[in-house]
Amino acid sequence: MKLRHVVAAALSTTVLSSGLVSAQTVFTVSSWLPPTHTLSTVQKNWCDLLEKESTGRMKCNILPKGVVAAPGTFDAVRDGLADISYTVDGYTPGRFINTQVAEFPFLGDSAVPTSVAYQRIYSKYFAPLGEHRGVKVLGVFTHGPGIIFNSKKPVATAADAASLKFRIGGGNINELSKAMGWNTTLKAAPESFELMSTGVMDATFFPAESVDSFKLSMVKHATTFPGGLYNTSFVFMMNPGKYNALAPQDKAVVDKLSGEVAARMFGEGWDKVDAASRELQKTQGVARIMADKAFVKAVADKQDYLETKWAASAQVKGLKDPKAVLAEFRAEIAKVK
């Protein structure tokens, strides 16, 4: 018996010293959207890439449902209820200011350029200011161009929109809607089906993808804008304690897959499902119209004031020359392919 123990101990020592056995880090991963939603699937793809790039030293345990509702996700990751997740900055109004730059109208017709350009601007200007303090930011990104969807009638003017009740997700579109005099209620995206199917709300602001993702079969009308009526700023994040506990080689893998890599993955995922949802909307009979010059100008006139207001708030938060940053962001979007 003693001999067996000695042999076993010797074998164990040999295996450990040879590096054949090493500790594995498992990340608890949360998503407040269904597993089939593009954000859930891209997050899983990122986790798969993490496991592959680390040769199995790191892997993800993806929970069957979110640890908290969407608005509480940032704090949940900060406090360690989940190790990895994402959220919408605008779900907690007033908390994040600089990130609103990614939510303005007319930025672009694809999620990839806006997401990658946003990541570049974020890394250069926003990350040093620490607005997302408390979490390890893995990436920032946007969805595709925002659209007016409703179940009632064509919306060709600002006055048409003013007669509807909108679900809204927060951020700049919330401020813009108030400035336009529209009737809005702040609710997270997963609540859209119940709100619209019961008639509590007539309309919602969403990218194309969401009609399919949230099964909004009651939607009959869509109004699109050149470059989108709005965008939404998302942050993809990790608990900092979990990141700081990693070995240097594993931190290097996380860093390699962060930033533009993550931003492009989320942007590509969103563009793919936006395109699929546009096809679905044809079979659903959704009537699409493009906002005319007068409607675009009405939005732009209100947005000019909001951008000035944002610039003042961002300056207080430490951002130097916010309007120049916004101009650089728009120029960067044009560069990204």
Domains 23-94+111-142+232-274 and 147-230+281-335 agree in fold = yes
133: pLDDT confidence band, cut at 50, 70 and 90?
A: very high
Q: Which of 6-20, 134-148, 177-191 has the highest mean pLDDT?
A: 134-148
Is pLDDT larger for residue 248 or for residue 21? 248
Task: Give the domain ranges of the chain.
Answer: 23-94+111-142+232-274, 147-230+281-335
- Identify the three-state secondary structure at position 26: strand
Mean pLDDT along residues 252-260: 98
Separation of alpha carbons 98 and 319, rounded Å? 8
Token pair in block for residue 194? 């119940």
**Whether residue 81 has pLDDT greater than 80:** yes
Listed residue (14, 2, 9, 43) closest to 235, CA to CA:
43
- pLDDT over 60 (residue 142): yes
Do the Cβ atoms of 267 and 116 come closer than 8 Å? Answer: yes
When mean pLDDT is compared across 18-22, 62-66, 217-221, the lowest value belongs to 18-22
In percent, how much of the chain has pLDDT > 90? 90
Q: Cα separation of 103 and 114, whole Å?
A: 10
At the fourth CATH level, which superfamily is domain 147-230+281-335? Bacterial extracellular solute-binding protein, family 7 (3.40.190.170)
Residue 59, CA atoms < 13 Å, CB-side half-sphere: 6
In this prediction, residue 171 carries a pLDDT of: 85
Q: How far apart are CA 241 and CA 79, in angstroms?
A: 9
Reading the block at residue 33, the tokens are: 């959207």
Question: If you average pLDDT over residues 300-310, what whole number do you get?
Answer: 95
Confidence band for 22, pLDDT divided at 50, 70 and 90: low
The residue whose two tokens read 């360690």 is: 80
pLDDT for the residue numbered 283: 94
Q: What is the pLDDT of residues 231-244, one digit of tens each?
A: 999 999 999 999 99
Q: pLDDT at residue 169 above 90? A: no
Both tokens of 157, joined, read 């003017």
- Tell me: the pLDDT tens digits for 38-69? 999 999 999 999 999 999 999 999 999 999 99
Residue 214: pLDDT above 60?
A: yes
Using a pLDDT cut of 70, give the percent of the chain over it.
93
pLDDT of residue 166: 95
Give pTM, 2 decimals.
Answer: 0.90
Mean pLDDT, range 79-93, rounded to an integer: 94
Give the dihedral of Cα atoms 304, 178, 169, 208; nearest 10 deg: -70
Total residues found in the chain within this entry: 337
Q: What is the pLDDT of residue 27?
A: 98
Tell me the pLDDT band of 16, cut-offs 50, 70 and 90. Answer: very low
Paired residues of 221 in beta bridges:
150, 287
Mean pLDDT, all residues of the chain? 92
Domain 23-94+111-142+232-274 indexed as CATH 3.90.550.10: no
Q: What was the pLDDT predicted at 9?
A: 45
